[in-house]
Amino acid sequence: MAIKNPKVTVVGAGNVGATTAQRLIEKNVCDVLLVDIVDGIPQGKALDLMEARPVELHDRKIFGSSTYDATKDSDVVVITAGIARKPGMSRDDLLKTNAGIVGGVTLEVVKHSPNAIIIVVSNPLDVMTHLAWLKSKLPKEKVFGMAGVLDAARMRFFIAEALNVSAEDVQAMVLGGHGDQMVPIARYSTVSGIPITELLPLQKINEINERTKNGGIEIVNYLKTGSAFYAPASSTATMVEAIVQDRKRVLPVATCLSGQYGLKDVFVGVPVVLGQKGIEQIIELKLAPEELEALQKSANAVKENVAKLTELALV
């Protein structure tokens, strides 16, 4: 059953946060509270989006605030706060700065909304999601990260482009950490149910896999002073929609595993059923030995960065 009159808060009024809010209200998913510590920014962007309502023909509301008091009793909180990557900077380079930001935001969120579902978008994604889970003390199914939906969307676009077909008919599966060691799975990537292994030569599939892995930095290199935000915002809005409307969507999400794929107590991207309660089921795919090895290698890289949090006394 869908959440009646859901309260959704987006923390961080930068490009990702503001665009996520825009996607949600213009898709008529829910009203949104946009929060940012810089006073005036969330209020101004909220007003700008409200003034677009007569043109976009919807009646959803968006509010702006620079305090966390307004977030009280949120059903879903999306954390986008943090600095973005710059050219030459890996997601892991963001670790120390963004850990301080995300940790502080999480404590404020749960103080005002102890029963909220938290979606983490800040990078490095898997580590920040782990940190938010530790700080929040919420059940694992209520804290997870947006990564796989974005990575799969990029792969879907590259497949559609290569085959000159509608992206609507393309599905893709990307597992693992949201970084250079993510694991695109060609066998589970399809066009109207046809595996791409039957439609594309191996060399092209390998090219698509590599471009998927480097999808974020490719955009960073173009922008020079920022990182991707349109596709991340769309991906995040899809997850929020699945939760507040109890859609039971099967989506790849960064979640904490408890033995699946031979992994435990580590946040990595795997397919889950997403609904009103958050993660309602973790789906364990049958992977080939080399695919499982790649996933476990990716998870170990995430664990190494989580260990850095302890070394830096950030948890």
Known catalytic residue: 130? no
Q: How far is CA 196 from the centre of its chain?
A: 25
Q: Judge contact between 254 and 125, C-beta under 8 A.
A: yes
DSSP element (H, E) containing 49: helix 41-51
Residue written as tokens 């039957």?
198
Beta-bridge mates of residue 7: none
Q: Provide the token pair at 204.
A: 């092209």
CA 211, CA 156: separation in Å to the nearest integer? 11
CA 68, CA 72: separation in Å to the nearest integer? 7
Cis peptide preceding 252, ω within 30 of 0: no
CA 79, CA 236: separation in Å to the nearest integer? 10
What amino acid is encoded at 311 in this protein?
Answer: E
Angle between helices 41-51 and 15-26 (to 10 degrees): 30
CA 68, CA 48: separation in Å to the nearest integer? 21
- List residues with catalytic annotation: 178
